[in-house]
Amino acid sequence: MRVGFIGLGTMGAGMASNLAKAGYELVVHDARKEAAESFLNNRAVWAESPKELAKLVDVTFLSLPGPSEVKGVAEGQEGLVEGMNPGSVVFDLSTNSPTVVRNLHSEFAKKGCHILDAPVSGGPAGAHSGKLALWVGGDEQIFNKYRTVLDNMGDQVAYIGPIGAGSVAKLVHNCAGYTIQAALGEVFTMGVKAGVEPLALWEAVRQGVLGRRRTFDGLINQFLPGIYDPPAFALRLAHKDVALATALGREKGVPMRLSNLALEEMTEALNRGWGNSDSRSSLKLQIERAGVEVAVDPERLKAALVKDPEL
């Protein structure tokens, strides 16, 4: 199978290398031809444009900085759309806008072609080692057809849903990570200014319940099934803990914007009469504001947990 790869930067080079190691014949393109030098020295074929590349392959992978670059490669006289043969497939590995990839999906469909969003998570080291998560949105039959190719780039390949679903999952993941990072920085600076040595503090909290759980595991028991009673830990007690922490921050002159926002949420939840419900019942406020329903069938949740040996 001839595979096209566009975007041989920090992430793309690692993923393309793994495809080459798996024996796929590569046709490559990059804004800088020198980025492709190591591949061309190992029998990859250079394409002068995305359009030229599309004519030579059955499936193409994009690894680009963002939405504008993806649109630039896909559209226009020298873009992929102009060169693709009916039935050809593109997987966009970039972190992209769900709206952009859905619009491109409509354009590709007019030519009888397919695009699937398949953003990755694992960083440059994962791109080179193959220890990557790939979250794929689009036609499930096309996903299944090319699953073997995807498995050569990542060890956690998952079909998420219709076109755009993979991009949504990636944005949830990354935004959560940086928001949590900001919150951790906030509370750690409070702890250090309150007199605890940084490494000792980190070692201590890493052994607490949050430190021992994976990041998203806190959503399993209450948020996902939408069940907040009986409580694992009552909201009124959690409110007291966060109130004490923010009070310490004020005492030590440490700004704690995110923590105070969390306290306000918990206070509003208390005023709803949820004090004896689970501490996560304050999440119901955000569910209301978003206008969505989160109530996963417990049997489906149980099946998802069985699939993950670490849980």
The residues that are catalytic are 170
| Terminal-to-terminal C-alpha distance of the chain | 38
Residues whose CB falls within 8 Å of the CB of residue 105, separated by 6 or more in sequence, listed in order: 114, 115, 138, 163, 164
Peptide bond into 230 cis (omega under 30): yes
Q: What are phi and psi of 134, to 5 degrees?
A: -120, 125
SS3 of residue 161 by DSSP: strand
Count CB neighbours of 228 within 10 A.
21
The first and second tokens of residue 65, run together, are 């900085």
| Strand, coil or helix: 10 | helix
Q: What totals of helices (H) and strands (E) does the chain contain, helices first?
A: 16, 9
